[in-house]
Structure 1
Amino acid sequence: MPEFSGHGNVGYGRGHNLAIVQARSEYHLVLNPDVDLDRDALIDALDFLETHPEVGLLTPRISDAQGRIQYLCRRYPTLLDLFVRGFLPGSARRFFTQRLARYEMRDVINERDIVWDPPIVSGCFMLFRTQVLARLSGFDPRYFLYFEDYDLSLRAHDVARVAYVPHVRVLHHGGGAARKGHRHIKLFLASAFKFYRRFGWKFISREH
């Protein structure tokens, strides 16, 4: 696993890798600073992992400040999916409701049911078995920001199962790249290019 000096802003993935390379724990939590945990979230998550040894990565029910589910589990994205969700205003996005619902797995993600092996999960909360994370060599440091969680999620399926566990609950205050200014848009596009070059380009097709 690569080592980094940590001087300055080395990027989201590289920053996490500084901690991952030193981890000696059984579990390792990747957590954004804009996430609040329910009181029993970690207890419930660890209990689930203890009883499901095949699971190497757990993602929780993620809600917004109003308590509504943020559908952050994903199927493999097309370029159209990313453009519509990330950059179109709400008035235009309504014409793509069905497409976005499929991309965001709204047909299976809910308050009750465990979902096994969602293709992509959000980097705002990723609870790993540390040995799984070590086998994956952590995040790919080529992503400075954005898509490092997509990349890591897809690779995680090669070595363990992934589970969406809705009784583990967190609150997420985050927002999209388009609402954060031109620099974030440029970072988003650069990372999207790296992601598709590695995993394959999909433009409009819904197949995955």
Structure 2
Amino acid sequence: MANTLGISIVLYQPELAAFERTCRNLVAAIGQARAAGELAATTLWLIDNGGGETAIARAQAILGEVDLTPQVLRGQGNLGYGRGHNLALRQSQTDFFLVLNPDVELAPDALVAALRFMTTAPRVLLLAPRVTDAGGSQVFLCKRYPSVLDFLLRGFAPRWLKALFDARLARYEMRDETLDRVVPDIEIVSGCFMFLRHAAIEASGGFDPAFFLYFEDFDLSWRLAQTGSIAYVPEVRIVHTGGHAARKGWHHVRLFVSAGRIFFAKHGWKFW
């Protein structure tokens, strides 16, 4: 029996070219999943947190190629990342739900692979894909429970200092493990592409609204890992062209640090 899928994308002053690529690749992936008999129905929500008018108009034209009319949620102001996705999560009644960034490009078979895996692995609540950056280098989004030092090194340290702690960061980012085989029981994942079992995220309450931006994905995945399994599935492939809070200026650095404090206060401080 084919599955139903909800997808939400939160927009805040999106980079138009990147978002158009996201939409075109999403169209291809939805079309392939339908053709493979894995996907019966799709509902897409576009949550406009600000400055998304042009992007939404372009998305509507592109998504029309697969007869998909997005549900547009606007007028709520900038609620933040997780709270924006929660608007769609509360409306969705699908089997699975994909939390997607507006700067992610899906491989044509990404949804086919994700749906096939999740329908045969009922213990898995959240699937993490294999991610590469725009240059083709693998990005390691699966993590062990972090320390404050891990975050400082990964986010803000100069290259020479990162090199001194490379073995530590490699362990934190699970670089030797999350390569070409499925890895179950991941502790934490970064969330540019979170393929979720809808019943699980509904039971969890969704994203914690205490997080405005950053760490809401760590918080949600850590909570899900306590009740089921998170799996890294390399057959599901995406390209992510965003990220890097430290490169976005001091405002994002402040948001990152503030969210980190909330995360550790909630789940336990680990300094080293």
Q: TM-score range by the shorter chain?
A: over 0.9
Alignment partner, residue 186 of structure 1: 254
CA-CA distance at 1:19 after TM superposition = 0.3
Alignment partner, residue 49 of structure 1: 118
Query: What TM-score does the superposition give when structure 2 sets the normalisation length?
Result: 0.72
Which structure is higher in RCO with an 8 Å CA cutoff and minimum separation 6? Answer: 1
Q: Say if 2:132 and 2:240, in contact at 8 Å, map to a contact too.
A: yes
Higher-Rg structure is: 2
Q: Say if 1:12 and 1:145, in contact at 8 Å, map to a contact too.
A: yes
Q: State the superposition RMSD in angstroms.
A: 1.3
Query: What per-residue deviation string (whole Å, max 9, x for no partner) do you get for residues 57-88 of structure 1?
Result: 10100111122210111101111110000001
User: Are 1:84 and 2:153 an aligned pair?
Assistant: yes
- Which structure 1 residue ranges, 4+ long, deviate > 4 Å from structure 2? none
What is the alpha-carbon distance in structure 1 between the residues aligned to residue 120 and residue 201 of structure 2? 19
Instruction: Determine which structure has the larger helix proportion and give its number.
Output: 2
CA-CA distance at 1:56 after TM superposition = 1.1
Query: Bigger shift: 193-202 or 91-100?
Result: 91-100
Q: Say if 1:78 and 1:203, in contact at 8 Å, map to a contact too.
A: yes
What is the alpha-carbon distance in structure 2 between the residues aligned to residue 9 and residue 65 of structure 1? 28
Q: Say if 1:177 and 1:188, in contact at 8 Å, map to a contact too.
A: yes
Query: What per-residue deviation string (whole Å, max 9, x for no partner) do you get for residues 8-51 of structure 1?
Result: 10000100000000011100000001100000000110000111
Alignment partner, residue 145 of structure 1: 213
User: Are 1:196 and 2:264 an aligned pair?
Assistant: yes
What is the alpha-carbon distance in structure 1 between the residues aligned to residue 156 and residue 166 of structure 2? 14
User: Per the alignment, in what secondary structure is the counterpart of residue 188 of structure 2?
Assistant: coil
CA-CA distance at 1:6 after TM superposition = 5.7
Query: What is the identity percentage for the equivalent residue pairs of Structure 1 and Structure 2?
Result: 52
Q: Say if 1:6 and 1:18, in contact at 8 Å, map to a contact too.
A: no
Query: What TM-score does the superposition give when structure 1 sets the normalisation length?
Result: 0.93
CA-CA distance at 1:175 after TM superposition = 2.7
Give unmatched runs, 5+ long, in structure 1: none
Give unmatched runs, 5+ long, in structure 2: 1-73
User: Per the alignment, in what secondary structure is the counterpart of residue 139 of structure 2?
Assistant: coil
Matched residue count: 200
CA-CA distance at 1:89 after TM superposition = 1.6
